[in-house]
Amino acid sequence: NAGVTQTPKFQVLKTGQSMTLQCAQDMNHEYMSWYRQDPGMGLRLIHYSVGAGITDQGEVPNGYNVSRSTTEDFPLRLLSAAPSQTSVYFCASSPRTGTYNEQFFGPGTRLTVL
């Protein structure tokens, strides 16, 4: 199994540009989520999905869209990039929603918005 994969690894955008960060998992996990990590801030939840066709907002959803058309994929779209969205983005998945499940993280995408 490849686990959780993310593409691209690095990306530089100009303010106002849009892009999609890709996330895929091959473990048939129901739950997937997106976090951003900023220096000194830990990880903050952007959006999450408890299954195909179901998404919900996390702590910092503004400026981001998600969709979950398949179990495997959970792309994160930046609608109009802003410098405040410069961050490292992590995708994670979990076997099933519920109380006692660890999350598996991808390697991250480092995004710079100029």
Phi first, then psi: give them for residue 99, nearest 5 degrees: -90, -25
Q: Per-residue x/- marks for other proteins, 43-82, CB under 8 A?
A: xxx--x-x-------xx-----------------------
- Residue 18 to residues 50, 71, 73, Cα–Cα distance (Å): 25, 24, 19
**Sheet strands side by side (includes 76-78):** 4-7, 19-25, 76-78, 64-66
8 upstream amide cis, omega within 30 of 0: yes
> Does the footprint of other proteins cover residue 97 (CB under 8 A)?
yes
At position 9, the amino acid (one-letter code) is K
> Does the footprint of other proteins cover residue 33 (CB under 8 A)?
yes
> Does the footprint of other proteins cover residue 107 (CB under 8 A)?
yes
> Does the footprint of other proteins cover residue 89 (CB under 8 A)?
no
CB-wise, 17 or 86, nearer to other proteins? Answer: 86
Binding site for other proteins (CB under 8 A): 4, 31, 33, 35, 40-45, 48, 50, 58-59, 90, 92, 94, 97-108
